[in-house]
Amino acid sequence: MSSLIITLLAPVAIVTALVVLVVRRAGQMRLLAQDGVEVTGRVVAKLEQRLQKRRRGSPVRRIHYSYVDAAGRTHDNPSLVTDDFWQAQAEGGPIAVVYAKSQPHVSAPKHLA
């Protein structure tokens, strides 16, 4: 009986978590549109990951970037990006970033915001 409950609840928990993540990110993007400040950040790392199910497909590409807010604090965030954008960036090079003035830890590469 308990395995049946787990079997039924696991997918519900996964879907709930995904919905929460999507709603949260949508709220962050709305905040960036309303309260965004553009700065030039730095590409800290370019990462490429192939998931087992996607070996034949395109890899997942991510950029880690850092930027300094108006208060002088440094923030470091990752972002999933398109292949073209990933290839156009250089580690250590500049990247246009938008962060929320009211919540400086919330940010995105400018082309996504």
CA–CA gap between residue 111 and residue 99 (Å, rounded) = 12
pLDDT digits (tens, 9 = 90+) for 22-31: 778 777 778 8
User: Around Cβ 108, how many Cβ atoms within 10 Å?
Assistant: 19
* Cα–Cα distance for residue pair 75/60, rounded to 1 Å: 23
| Other C-beta atoms lying within 10 Å of the C-beta of residue 41 | 24
Angle at 10 between CA 15 and CA 61, to 5 degrees: 50
pLDDT tens for residues 12-53? 778 888 887 777 877 777 888 898 999 999 999 999 887 666
CA-to-CA distance for 109 and 40, rounded, in angstroms?
10
pTM of this prediction? Answer: 0.75
